[in-house]
Amino acid sequence: MAPGDWGSGGARSESPGKAGRAAEGVAAVWLEANGFRVLARNHATRRGEVDLVCQEGETICFTEVRSRNRLDYGSPAASVTPAKARRVVNAATDWVMRNRAGQRSLRFDVVSILFGPGGPKIELFRNAFDASGFPWP
């Protein structure tokens, strides 16, 4: 997907569910272009969901994707609450168990996408929170 394909309105001109999936697609393309390998998308359990499971080097990265088209209510990354982080951790724990990845280095990241004129502004926050769901100091 080329930057011009994202349009100026971004994913938010769609319904919230479609907008979230579109943002996850943009994030996956961006992460792969920056050296990550996407292993899984939308791994869900009854106790939570993780948007993208990626690998950077030898590290498994559980990535929450957040997007907005305006900053009226803060940045996209700021919308990750401790409760949401715990749901990501719950899904990540399930993924690790199912994929026997317990011996791997693990990390919790957030990709923030701000849609607007000129295409999306994408930021990666490595180690955005720990396995307890709390933000790193």
pLDDT of residue 14: 57
pLDDT tens-digit profile, the chain (137 residues): 333 333 334 444 556 667 778 899 999 999 999 999 999 999 999 999 999 999 999 999 999 999 998 888 889 999 999 999 999 999 999 999 999 998 999 999 999 999 988 889 999 999 999 988 877 65
Quick one: tokens of 34?
Answer: 């920056």
pLDDT of residue 55: 97
135 DSSP 8-state letter: B
Query: How many CB atoms neighbour CB 7 within 10 A?
Result: 13
Give the global pTM.
0.84
Q: Which fold has domain 3-125?
A: Trna Endonuclease; Chain: A, domain 1 (3.40.1350)
42 DSSP 8-state letter: E
Provide CB contacts within 8 A for 83, sequence distance 6+.
133
Q: Where are the domains of the chain?
A: 3-125
